[in-house]
Amino acid sequence: MEKRELVILGAGPSGLTAAIYGKRAGLDVLLIEKGRPGGQIVITSEIENFPGVVKATGRELADSFRAHAEHFETEFREGTVQALKIADGKKIVVTNKEEIEAEAVIVATGARYKKVGCPGEARYTGSGVSYCAVCDGAFFQDETVAVIGGGNAAVEEADYLTRFASRVYLIHRRDAFRAHRTALDRAFSNPKIVPIVNSVVQSIEGSDMVEKVVLRNVKTDQVSEIPLAGVFVFVGIEPNAEFVQGVLEVRDGGWIVTSGRMETSVEGIFAAGDVRDTFLRQVVTAAGDGASAAMAAYGYISEQLHLQSLLLKPIKVFALFASSIDQDQIKLTGEAEKLKGQIGAPFAIVDGYRNARMTEKLGLQELPAMVELNSGRVVRCKAVRDAEGINVFCSM
């Protein structure tokens, strides 16, 4: 089986940024993507809110991200990730073509917007149909637009769009909106918002750009048209993360839970960008996540390689595993440092709290504990409580 240091899943802004930072840190990086690199931004007609880029199409920005990653000789490989497995402490990425073992993995597979599915939606995506008011709202200054949806996102984004649009139709298939009362009160007190209930968008039509929507009333079957310049779809968003179910901790909806260092619930696996449980999903935040995840992965890989050279390669080594969050054990590690010169064999001190996977791999049931290893094989281990216990263990 092929083995790599860092495998990144997904080539959107977070994955490409992680590749740049990973390569610059000296890591062996493999980036797996099932389609054209760039993620959701490739369907955005114009981007004006990425720092340093006054205006660019989503495709142009995506191409610049990829060119930057290629500059540092990132290896790209096409494939669809089917599973992420943990076997005997090893992290294995399963694609439709192969299995790859990785020292660390960054999940950056992004999210996808749920579609209405009506004629014209796909054709005009990026040409008047949008799934992000923050991204594209400013392009509809003094225009008429529609928002499709009835939840919090739809109602809040309709209110946001009134900063730019002269009129915002809020279209919902039911007779009552599902959004919170405070959001509804704020939106419906705005004279620019026109709610339309019991209606579905039958089609989105135009020439080169969106020009109108055709509505059908679900109770009367009456068909009507609304001339407008833009349609914003907010019927839901979901992560591209089916393959992590049962492996990583996720929140309602399947969003991956991470720490501020982009660490998931499994040591050595990180998540970045829209796939994780996060407040804002934008190109700039995804890129920031990618940078953080890559540097956290670098720290993890460096620590793992250090531990392997420290514990698994020597012919004989004694190691004290102690927790860095227990005051008595911290004190014991200080005493153990003074004993290093008195022990006639290599002696290592390992943070068993931070390196839980190594602790588990060696079969240690409690901390602090002493271990004797011979070429990576555990000869014996024993719980210790003081410096005398360490001395006795090493003299046997």
**What are the E-state strand segments in 256-391?**
269-271, 317-322, 347-351, 369-374, 377-383
CA distances from 238 to 24, 246, 375 (A): 32, 17, 47
Residue 132 is a catalytic residue? yes
Tell me the Cα Rg of the chain.
27
Q: Are 307 and 317 in contact (CB under 8 A)?
A: no
The alpha helices in 78-219, defined as continuous H runs, are 133-136, 152-161, 181-188
Q: Are 143 and 165 in contact (CB under 8 A)?
A: yes
Rounded CA separation 286/230 (Å): 26
Q: Which of 118, 135, 351, 381 is catalytic?
A: 135
Q: Which of 118, 136, 289, 351 is catalytic?
A: 136
Q: Are 218 and 198 in contact (CB under 8 A)?
A: yes
Q: Which of 28, 88, 118, 132 is catalytic?
A: 132
Residue 135 is a catalytic residue? yes
Q: Are 5 and 104 in contact (CB under 8 A)?
A: yes
Residue 185 is a catalytic residue? no
With a CB cutoff of 8 Å and minimum separation 6, the contacts of 198 are 172, 173, 174, 175, 217, 218, 219
User: What residues act catalytically?
Assistant: 132, 135-136
